[in-house]
Chains A and B, each alone.
Chain A
Amino acid sequence: MSTSCRQSALKKLSAAQFTLWELHLYLDTHPGDLQAVALFKKCHAKYTALVSEYEENYGALTGFNAEGAEWLKNPWPWDIEGCE
């Protein structure tokens, strides 16, 4: 599990999440925009796949989905990862 690999997976995941979040906020003020709803669904499928891929390789993103002490493993989001 290399650091650069984790970071590039995280970057991909964050980009997909960002797209989804932007659409989500837009839909708060444009709930009737069916085109945006369709786009949200499309992006959501991609995002879900990326979350599963990330969690399988690098551990759970939310505590309830972690098994035992897996949740406590470093790195935490504020940690700087070394290059071992």
Chain B
Amino acid sequence: MAEKSVALGYRGVRIRMFVYEKKLQYPVKITNPNPKYAKIIITQYGGPDGELGASLRYLSQRFAMPYPELKGLLTDIGTEELGHLEMIGTIVYQLTRNLSIDEIKKAGFEDYFVDHTTGIYPQAASGTPWSAAGMQSKGDVITDLSENLAAEQKARTTYDNILRLVDDPDVREPIKFLREREVVHFQRFGEGLRLATDRLDSRNYYMCNPAFDKNCGK
């Protein structure tokens, strides 16, 4: 056991790929199932401003990033979003446990149920399946970081709207946590944008694209 713990430093782990940790970033324990809430909250799983799109946006954009801080930031935030995806999946799963057909009908959950039973499927609250059309990876540093600032605010608004619709504190607590993470990511992306523009010509940031044009900012 002692040897095991030595191998477990956060930055000292010797495994060369994504590593799954068998815990949520923030605890989710919902006592009362509520399919109505599940139908709303699934939108943060596979909707236009949801966690799946966020994760893929950042983990895709990072390949074009020329600066080490931005490669790190996109990798880290993209990875955290996968943790958020797992939290949202957990919330929807726990909200749809042990449902009777009567409860499903009463909550208007039939349209989700007929396609997915109570499985977790990436779709918007409207029922539209997840689509890469809701995200962009433009290969331009300023464009991509500006997209990310907007994306974090769109997700924050969605969480605000969920909080307007949901009363159960068991559901509100993890949603409030996720909402706050959007605010922190917005802050970090703002700093990332600043780091990028500091390296470019301050009279005209848009003169060239450091992700494509050679000698841009040099």
Contact = CB atoms under 8 A, between A and B. Distances in A.
Interface of A: 7, 10-11, 13-14, 17-18, 20-22, 24-26, 28-31, 44, 47-48, 51-52, 55-56, 59-65, 71, 76-78, 80
A51 B5 contact: yes
Contacts of B207: none
B27 A14 contact: yes
16 contacts: A11-B27, A20-B10, A21-B80, A25-B184, A26-B188, A28-B76, A29-B188, A44-B9, A47-B10, A52-B1, A55-B4, A60-B4, A64-B19, A71-B22, A76-B22, A80-B97
A20 B8 CA distance: 14
A28 B27 contact: no
A78 B69 contact: no
B188 A28 contact: yes
A55 B27 contact: no
B184 A60 contact: no
Contacts of A59: 22
Interface string B82-124: 0000100110011001000000000000000000000000000
A62 B19 contact: yes
Interface residues of B, number: 39
Nearest to A71: B22
Contact of B4 (A13, A65, A76): A65
B10, B19, B25 pick with most chain A CB within 10 angstroms: B10
Contact of A24 (B7, B76, B86): B76
A25 B97 CA distance: 35
Contacts of A76: 22
B1 A77 contact: no
B149 interface: no
Contacts of B133: none
A62 B22 contact: yes
A61 B94 CA distance: 22
B27 A65 contact: no
Given A29-B69, A62-B19, A22 B86 contact: no
